[in-house]
Structure 1
């Protein structure tokens, strides 16, 4: 595999990894290119063109403001969500922005930002072109593709998720090879992944990164559980996680077999309500699917007997490895394959991670991942008004419940299973390619059309 799980689990801000985090990274990458070429001082204006899905749902996903912040030098990992609104107000009022935070250049939406929803660039549905203009015309331009999960590629080179990595002790290219390597070495999957990641980063950095990832996920759950109000965007969607928590807390001590499902719902919705409001989340593997994995991991940590820090570590190592398999062999982009590539992949990752945390054998872990995806095949990505709210928030809650069930089914099987993870992964990719583009994050069909009839 070419991608580290540390790169897969990106800490950033909502509402979308492909439509917010990726474009922000693209804007920042463009400014760095200008600096490297010694052109920054010559720029008088910047033009941004958005194509395909980035244009079709970009307003609801914040693509326009994300690019602007990236051009100002902001990084989605470190930008303070509270800074976003004041910065955008300054850009709007002054009709200019500060490239890299140091050079004022012209930028007015009417003149310097163009939307092309009907035009798709060659390599991916999420494309954008950025041009730097000087007094004598074009200084520099670059095309970027936001390929899902916050990963970006430039027009002629891969800038995230595709570069060759340093040698690892147990290389593999797919799930079958991963299982074979682990069997030959006599290792559980989490230990094999740990050894590979330690070879890439060193054990100390790996340990720090895993702690940081879980801390960011956990903090997001906690904020979502305690923050009330109406989500932005005009749909009038109320935050429900705090009400779910209050109801559960009021009935502590009761015996209700449905409580575990309610806790999963509360944890997942807390994350995705934070994401929808532009809060800090972790791509797992995307922002739109960011609630599934943290919900299942919090469920393991707080509600399952025998949970431990070592179990959390195993969960992250294995779920990350499964996510990388999808990234490199299929897709994690809703604009490319629909929501099966987002919530479906997140469910598969979480099911495998939970199985690992519970000490399942390697075959059961692979089976859990397969079941998690198998029952998301064909899921469309049809956000109402391009907002990551309806049906995305509830879809994460349902995905978390399905992940726990997939894990239980796999661990209780006690033998071989008919469908392999690689097979279901290939099926997902082919299904996504066959799916009409209007069902893949363009808000041109499905719920995005029919649910609007009550508002429009």
Structure 2
């Protein structure tokens, strides 16, 4: 099984990888199909289902769908151009994707939030349609946004495309047990296994430059979040807090204060900075999702800034190790909040961060696997219940706690010899089963939990 580090860590936009990036990617794929199809479309329509309908407005799914059908992509997103195009589309009721001319698309009429029908393949479903001059549908495709910006058509999902092996790799581990066995047999670390697999797809220089780019975007996102203030969009009137906390921590440095919990505040403000940027629609890296985008950057910033002996040269090992763990979780369970709750998002991110941190601090493969298991185990059962469907409450603070748990898990694993009672594979399977049993109210629909017990208007 091969899932690239650049699939786990995608550069995109907030506030949601599944609800914002996914629909934009789906729209781009549909446009590509129309460009090579036998029919000449004159109009477009879209319907959103399941979680995409229930929390779509709060996650900017409508904006993402409109912009995707207008030709925008997450990779080339230009915020200023996007705002101008949104205003034009709403005024003229047309989109102008490259190669397809001007197509009728009135968001008020042609973009439907269907709250009554959940599509069978996944909680995040959408149907895109092309119409002729008379308004009759001439092409239609069902897409599922399965978490982390990954998108599958209905046919791909039914064919098991998310489980495809792909071209052979030297270390095709599908479980943590297989991964550890390969480490033992080869004498390689988890990062070295992952690097060897990646090098079957790209040149060493491209891999290293890509990993540097991932951290550059993560780090820049932290810095933007630490310098911004004001309220976040969406109507909850949630105030940004990362800058205030960071400023206070900087001021305390010269005051000879020795509060033992201060390091937790540093980690929290780093993570909150990222997720405040995500909530504002800024550029983030899926890690493995937007809703959990702050955990891994915060853990890396903590390591580089606060841990003696930390070296930027080891950063690729952190990201490669984290991606290996994230790939196992996605392959064997899920990274989608709409499918398995927040245990699949912040829980997965915390496990990935714990593994990466343990690796760069000298852990054996067994200790790395132990770190990931500890972090994931102690997120099991966590629900996804965003207030007003926004990726703000409880998501922003939750990332801070996810990074703290990651550091604690890595530290605990390094105190042991790697032997432990619960295998990572068992924790991943438990997460999958728990998500399967979890009520839909607690899986990114904003129909239960904090979403209904906190006044949000």
TM > 0.5 between the two?
yes
Contact 1:168 1:200 in 2 (8 A): no
Q: 2:75: which partner in 1?
A: 77
User: After superposition, what is the alpha-carbon deviation per residue over 1:209-261, rounded to whole angstroms, capped at 9, x for unaligned?
Assistant: 10111111001001100011100000000010110111011112433322211
Is 1:299 the counterpart of 2:302 in the alignment?
yes
Is 1:180 the counterpart of 2:174 in the alignment?
no
Is 1:3 the counterpart of 2:3 in the alignment?
yes
Question: Which of 398, 401, 406 is the equivalent residue of 1:398?
Answer: 401
Contact 2:380 2:434 in 1 (8 A): yes
- Where do 1:106-255 residues align within 5 Å? 106-136=104-134, 137-157=136-156, 162-253=163-254, 254=256, 255=258
Residues 2, 187 of structure 1: CA spacing in aligned structure 2 closer, same or farther, 3 A cutoff? closer
Contact 1:71 1:100 in 2 (8 A): no
4+ residue runs over 6 A deviation: none
Question: Which of 292, 295, 318 is the equivalent residue of 1:289?
Answer: 292
Contact 1:272 1:393 in 2 (8 A): yes
Question: What's the TM-score, normalizing by structure 2?
Answer: 0.96
Question: Which of 55, 59, 72 is the equivalent residue of 1:61?
Answer: 59
Aligned partner of residue 12 in structure 1, secondary structure: strand
User: After superposition, what is the alpha-carbon deviation per residue over 1:131-185, rounded to whole angstroms, capped at 9, x for unaligned?
Assistant: 0001242221100000000000012126985554222111111110000001000
Decide which moves more: 77-86 or 288-297: 77-86
Aligned counterparts of 1:61 and 1:176: Cα–Cα separation in 2: 37
Aligned counterparts of 2:15 and 2:99: Cα–Cα separation in 1: 23
Q: 1:21: which partner in 2?
A: 21
Aligned counterparts of 2:175 and 2:313: Cα–Cα separation in 1: 25
Aligned counterparts of 1:352 and 1:82: Cα–Cα separation in 2: 38
Aligned partner of residue 200 in structure 2, secondary structure: helix
Cα distance, 1:410 vs structure 2: 1.0
Residues 225, 38 of structure 1: CA spacing in aligned structure 2 closer, same or farther, 3 A cutoff? farther
Q: 1:444: which partner in 2?
A: 447
Decide which moves more: 22-31 or 414-423: 414-423
Aligned counterparts of 2:225 and 2:418: Cα–Cα separation in 1: 40
Cα distance, 1:202 vs structure 2: 2.2
Aligned counterparts of 1:362 and 1:370: Cα–Cα separation in 2: 12
Contact 2:190 2:324 in 1 (8 A): no
- Where do 1:333-352 residues align within 5 Å? 333-352=336-355
Aligned counterparts of 1:219 and 1:38: Cα–Cα separation in 2: 44
Cα distance, 1:200 vs structure 2: 2.1
Cα distance, 1:84 vs structure 2: 2.6
Aligned counterparts of 1:311 and 1:257: Cα–Cα separation in 2: 28
Cα distance, 1:99 vs structure 2: 2.5
Cα distance, 1:314 vs structure 2: 1.0
Q: 2:357: which partner in 1?
A: 354
Contact 2:35 2:99 in 1 (8 A): no
Aligned counterparts of 1:50 and 1:385: Cα–Cα separation in 2: 17
The root-mean-square deviation of aligned C-alpha atoms, in Å, is 1.4
Residues 279, 161 of structure 1: CA spacing in aligned structure 2 closer, same or farther, 3 A cutoff? farther
Question: Which of 264, 268, 272 is the equivalent residue of 1:265?
Answer: 268
Q: 1:410: which partner in 2?
A: 413
Cα distance, 1:81 vs structure 2: 2.6
Q: 1:48: which partner in 2?
A: 46
Structure 2: state its 5+ residue gaps.
Answer: none
Aligned counterparts of 1:380 and 1:150: Cα–Cα separation in 2: 20
Aligned counterparts of 1:132 and 1:382: Cα–Cα separation in 2: 34
Question: What's the TM-score, normalizing by structure 1?
Answer: 0.96
Contact 2:386 2:394 in 1 (8 A): yes
Contact 1:151 1:161 in 2 (8 A): no
Aligned partner of residue 65 in structure 1, secondary structure: helix
Contact 1:265 1:398 in 2 (8 A): yes
Aligned partner of residue 75 in structure 1, secondary structure: coil
User: After superposition, what is the alpha-carbon deviation per residue over 1:62-119, rounded to whole angstroms, capped at 9, x for unaligned?
Assistant: 1111011111121101202333322211111111111237622121123201111231
